[in-house]
Amino acid sequence: MGSSSSSDVSITKYFDMDGKEVEPGDLIQIFRDGYQHWAVYVGCGNVVHLRVAESGAGKGEVLKQTLEDVVEKDNWSVNNLLDHEYKRHPADDIVKEACSLAITGWQYDLDTHNCEHFATEMRYGKPESRQGAKPGDLIEIFRRWYQHWAVYVGDGNIVHFVTPRWLARTGVVWKQKLGDVLKNNWWKVNNLLDHKYRPRPADDIVRDACSLADTERQYNLKKSNCEHFATEMRYGKAESQQGAKPGDLIEIFRRWYQHWAVYVGDGNIVHLTIPRWLARTGIVWKQKLGDVLKNNWWNVNNLLDHKYRPRPADDIVFTGGYRTAVQPEEVKL
């Protein structure tokens, strides 16, 4: 942010991450982790914005706060996204209307009354949003170490496939409020295979997903996980990009460090372990991924694929399987 001053009055000017000066009436797009928040700039370093009220779901509150307090450490930019489509209100009218609503209660609904709806209504008189989910959309939820997937079916509800515990063999399809499932996690709409397959009609997606609510299904990380369920509902094709393939590197998140292994197929990994901390000799083991995980999370992380060409998967698996086929091998560290 920059500033300039005259001889009579000190004027602070604010600039977004692209160096564009923000002016009263501008819409501010703030890039949170996993979503965008929107506000209306009303001058003197202040914005007016709608947020979810602490009193509960379905309730919002309009606040006037400093831009810096709202942005915190996130990036932001001026984005008058509908100027090409609608004539904006005069800046004085935008500021007056937005400030008049500050410190008032406001309905909050992801589909019809979110922060972007509020901001665009102030500037254009047209409440529109590009970030709300539509029935039939796939929802990607960012957990700490993995992504959970669901199908949005309208009115703030999702249908999703869950398991009662990690690596369980049976799961249940639930219909729940998106807010109840999110907890403190971020989410986004991600219709990830629209470029590959034609989505089924939204009414069919919603009908079929809801018809499966409260039913049990077999769970398998490679063949029938939450992403398989979601993509099957939208495209009629059960696909997942989060299962491990032979030759993939597996990153396991222990409490204070990450443990690494090679996935060799059929639920097995090959990995180097040590009998005690800072030992000089370790052992290469072939074990079931589930037995090694315990209560820890994991993901596929082929971290050097951008730097080196991976060896053929068959060669990776053969080497790992051969080294452990007869007995575990000791390795000096």
- % of the chain residues with pLDDT over 90: 48
Q: For residue 332, what pLDDT is reported? A: 55
Q: Which of these is catalytic: 49, 160, 228, 271? A: 160
Query: What is the DSSP-derived secondary structure letter of residue 230?
Result: H
Told to judge if 117 belongs to the known catalytic residues of this protein, a careful annotator would answer no
Question: Which CATH number is 249-332 given?
Answer: 3.90.1720.10
Tokens of 264: 């060799």
**pLDDT at 200 exceeding the cut of 80:** yes
Most confident listed range (50-59, 85-94, 110-119, 298-307): 85-94
Task: Provide the 3-class DSSP secondary structure of residue 276.
Answer: coil
User: Phi and psi of 188, rounded to 5°?
Assistant: -155, 160
Question: pLDDT tier at 293 (50, 70, 90 boundaries)?
Answer: confident
CA neighbor of 63 nearest in space, from 80, 46, 78, 85: 46
pLDDT above 90 for 71: yes
Cα–Cα distance, 102 to 65 (Å, whole number): 9
pLDDT at 130 over 80: no
Query: CATH homologous superfamily for 3-124?
Result: endopeptidase domain like (from Nostoc punctiforme) (3.90.1720.10)
> In this predicted model, which residue has the larger pLDDT, 106 or 204?
204
Is 45 strand, coil or helix?
A: coil
pLDDT at 323 (0 to 100): 46
- What CATH class is the domain 138-235? alpha beta
**Catalytic-role residue among 37, 49, 226, 228:** 226
Q: Which of 37, 117, 148, 271 is catalytic?
A: 148
- Indicate the range of 35-44, 122-131, 278-287 predicted with least confidence: 278-287
- The confidence score (pLDDT) of residue 327 equals 47
For the question of residue 89 being annotated catalytic, the response is no
99 carries an active-site annotation:
no
Asked if pLDDT for residue 227 goes beyond 90, the answer is yes
Segment 314-323, tens digit of pLDDT: 999 987 554 4
What is the pLDDT averaged over residues 165-191? 82
The reply to whether the predicted model has a pTM over 0.75 is no
pLDDT band for position 153 (cuts 50, 70, 90)? very high
| Residue limits of CATH 3.90.1720.10 in the chain | 3-124, 138-235, 249-332
